[in-house]
Each structure stands twice: as structure tokens, then as C-alpha cells.
Amino acid sequence: MNKEKSKTGCLGATMIISSILIFLVILFIPGCAKYNSMVDKQENVEKQWAQVENQYKRRLDLIGNLVETVKGYASHEKETFVQVTEARAKATSIEVDPSDLDENMLAQFEEVQGSMTEALSKLMLVVEAYPELKADSQFRKLMDELTTTENMIAAERQAFNEVAKAYNTYIRKFPNNIVAKIFGFDRKGYFEAPEGSDIAPEVEF
């Protein structure tokens, strides 16, 4: 009699364990799919961030060449050149971890790039006083490239916001938010800019 009860108890325990395992497998498979989707969306954000950085780096290279060209016509405008050089050095030195693109990090990045834009504006004021510089073919070529780059920056920033929004929305939805919390998928920041800054700056000469 005791043996039969023991067999029944073992059978019952086995069924319970099997049911629990089946339940865990049912949860595990969708969980894996959600985790993989989060990885894909996170990769999209980081890939788009690389595109943003590439355009900003191109901008810095062009500004460096532009300063050298302007110096050839206005070598005495030392204060402006110093301001542009310092702003460019600061913008070049900032390092952004693509896995940690939160609001604070993007705000720091934008602040540095904003300083570079202000310095560039001062350089353009200097250019206005030198008609022969504005007629220089090398200068005009650099300005054309810079204008194109500013447009590309605006486009890449918008694209970044779009993929970041897709990622943020996905990890906030239930039950995705549970998986995100367990595996450390954190919210990404957006490019927040003043009104009208979605329009690329006009670089006139």
C-alpha cells in the first residue's frame, strides 16, 4: 500500500515538474525572440549613431581646411582663428559611448557641437570683409561641401531620432519591458534642438 502511495506521489511530483518545465519553455521561447529583437533594434541605433558621428567628423575636417584657407587672406584675424581652433579641438576630443546614448550624453555632445557652430558663424563674419576670399575657388568648393555636410547632419540626426524612438517604444511595451529590465536595455536619448534647428544652417558666402 505504501509502495503504491509512493509511486502515486512520485508520479504526481513528476507531472508537476514536467508542467513547470513546459510552462518555463513556453515563456522562454517568446522571451528569446523579444531579447533578439531588442538586440537588433539596439544595433540599429548604434549603427545610425555612427552615421551621425561620420558627418560631424567630416564637418570638423572641412572647418579645419576652411580655417587654413581663410588664414591665407586674413592672417591678422587671430582671435577668431583661436576661437574656431579651440572649439574644433573640443568637438574632436569628445567621446561618446554608443551603448550609453542617454539624454545627458547627447546633451553634452550637442553643447560641444553648438559651440563649434557659433565659432563657425564668427569665422563667416570675417569672410564677409574679404571679397577676394569669397571668389577663391578652393574656398567656394569647401563652402559647397560644408553646406552639403550640414544638410547630411540634419538628415542623419532625424534618422537617429526615428530608430531611437522605435527602440524606446519597443522596450517600454509589456511584456518587453520585463525582458528589457532583466537584460539592461536602457532608454536612448533623442536629439533635442531649439525651434527651427531641424533646418540645416545656411552657410552663405
List, in order, residues 6 or more apart from 79 with CB less than 8 Å away: none
User: pLDDT digit string (tens) for 47-63?
Assistant: 999 999 999 999 999 99
- Cα–Cα distance, 163 to 152 (Å, whole number): 17
User: pLDDT digit string (tens) for 170-182?
Assistant: 999 988 888 899 8
How distant is the alpha carbon of residue 178 from its chain centre?
25
Query: What are the backbone angles phi and psi of residue 189, rounded to the nearest 5°?
Result: -85, 170
Say which residue, 193 or 108, is predicted with more confidence: 108
All domains of the chain in start order, with CATH: 43-205 (1.20.1440.20)
List, in order, residues 6 or more apart from 127 with CB less than 8 Å away: 70, 74, 133, 134, 139, 205
User: pLDDT digit string (tens) for 76-133?
Assistant: 889 999 999 999 999 999 988 988 899 999 999 999 999 999 999 999 999 999 999 9
Answer whether the bond into residue 131 is a cis peptide, omega within 30°: no
